[in-house]
Amino acid sequence: MSKVLCVLYDDPVGGYPRSYARDSIPKLEHYPGGQTLPSPKSIDFKPGALLGSVKGELGLRKFVESKGHELVVTSDKDGRGSVFEKQLVDADVVISQPFWPAYLTKERFAKAKNLKLAITAGIGSDHIDLQAAMDHDVTVAEVTYSNSISVAEHVVMMILALVRNYLPSHQWVVQGGWNIADCVERSYDLEGMTVGSIGSGRIGLAVLRRLKPFDVKLHYADRYRLPVSIEDELDLTYHETIEDLVKVCDVITVNVPLHPETENLINDALIAKMKRGVYIVNTARGKICDRDAIALALKSGQLAGYAGDVWFPQPAPKEHPWRSMPHHGMTPHISGTSLSAQARYAAGVREILECWFDQRPIRDEYLIVQGGKLAGTGAHSYTAGDATKGSEEAAKYKPTKNHAA
């Protein structure tokens, strides 16, 4: 028997939903580019249900227990006294979402003597010390592409919200006002602006495609250049370096994975090379942007706005400066965990577990680490090393009455 330890975010304050705003979600046949969606033998949930919270259990309990294994589900993940820390000691499989990450540090790997598989329910396995996973011969897998388009949609929404000054304008209505001048004093058109993507993988390219109809000038930088056919289709300008890219941009969107080479990529020095009044949207990982550099640049006016849903650590402590800095559009990490996305990544987790229990190969595109080295998607997207340093700060987050029942 194996113990499967699953870390999910808390249920809604008002309790687990009894009904939903919509009766169903669209059924997709494949992802852009042709990759098939997750293909488990079966599922034990209704697509469109809340699966990513504790009571949702990713729809896994019936399946896991039917195989004779134990499933432990918790949201208590940070600190030495947490449920996760206690249960990790004899866990064989750990499942965690990027939105509420169970940080698997070097120290935790040393305690997890039975651990053989770490699954990311979604995309982005930087909450796992990948070097430690390699050293301990633990397989790491994630559900590639499951929420890429979800995040791309969120990026476009946040770009428009910043440029058009949407959030402050909405707040005037909530407060009972009709303050048009206050609303438009920071409102511009996106049309004609230069938008640059740092990264042009699945999410970055999806963002660029969705921005094309807005009649903007599209630029990108990536260590892997896109085919000429795609550059011509989208009228893309390629930059060999990020420094060259940011000099020309009015809007910058960050779409690269976090690993040692991208940690604090956007810092004081890089921001100083940007136009005054640039907007940055970061739905990749919080640690790609230097926390204090972003807050200072907003205060000085070098940045006109910053939005995103990724922080470091997660959940962010109450005193995190991004909560109170001016002209921001931050949200909790939600871009990739829409009800639509949850159906896909829950099915992907089920597929990975089916393969693991049946001793069948896991899809190559799902693999990050296998056999003591980067593998599959991991070999293309990550570098060896550890990006979890500082994650212990997440223990400082304390739920409020608006967070938990």
pLDDT tens digits, 293-306: 999 999 999 999 99
- Give me the residue label for tokens 């930088």: 221
Task: Give the β-pairing of 367-370 and 139-142.
Answer: antiparallel
pLDDT value for 395: 82
pLDDT, tens digit only, all 405 positions of the chain: 899 999 999 999 999 999 999 999 999 989 998 899 999 999 999 999 999 999 999 999 999 999 999 999 999 999 989 999 999 999 999 999 999 999 999 999 999 999 999 999 999 999 999 999 999 999 999 999 999 999 999 999 999 999 999 999 999 999 999 999 999 999 999 999 999 999 999 999 999 999 999 999 999 999 999 999 999 999 999 999 999 999 999 999 999 999 999 999 999 999 999 999 999 999 999 999 999 999 999 999 999 999 999 999 999 999 999 999 999 999 999 999 999 999 999 999 999 999 999 999 999 999 999 999 999 999 998 888 898 988 888 888 866 544 443
Q: What DSSP state is assigned to residue 224?
A: S
Burial class (CB in 10 A: 0-12, 13-18, 19+), 355: middle
pLDDT value for 401: 46
How many other CB atoms are there within 10 angstroms of residue 15's CB atom? 9
pLDDT value for 398: 64
Q: Out of 3.40.120.10, 3.40.50.300, 3.40.50.2000, 3.40.50.720, which CATH number does the structure's domain 148-330 have?
A: 3.40.50.720
Give the chain's length.
405
Q: Does 148-330 match 3-144+337-375+383-396 at the fold level?
A: yes
Amino acid in the structure at residue 250 = D
Q: What are the structure tokens assigned to 254, written together? A: 């960050």
Amino acid in the structure at residue 351 = E
Helix (H, G, I), strand (E, B) or coil at 361: coil
Q: What DSSP state is assigned to residue 274?
A: S
Does residue 12 come out as left (phi exceeding 0), alpha (psi in the -120 to 50 range) or beta?
Answer: beta
Supply φ then ψ for residue 169, to 5 degrees. Answer: -65, -40
pLDDT value for 402: 45
CATH architecture of 3-144+337-375+383-396: 3-Layer(aba) Sandwich (3.40)
> Catalytic residue numbers?
147, 285, 314, 333
pLDDT value for 389: 87
Q: What pTM value is reported for the model?
A: 0.94
pLDDT value for 74: 98
Contact between residue 37 and residue 28 where contact means Cβ atoms under 8 Å apart: yes
CA distance 375 to 377: 6
Helix (H, G, I), strand (E, B) or coil at 130: helix
Which one, of 151, 353, 178, 173, lies nearest residue 254 by Cα? 151
- Give me the residue label for tokens 């499942």: 95
Domain layout of the chain by residue ranges: 3-144+337-375+383-396, 148-330
Beta strands in 10-135 (DSSP E): 70-74, 93-96, 117-120
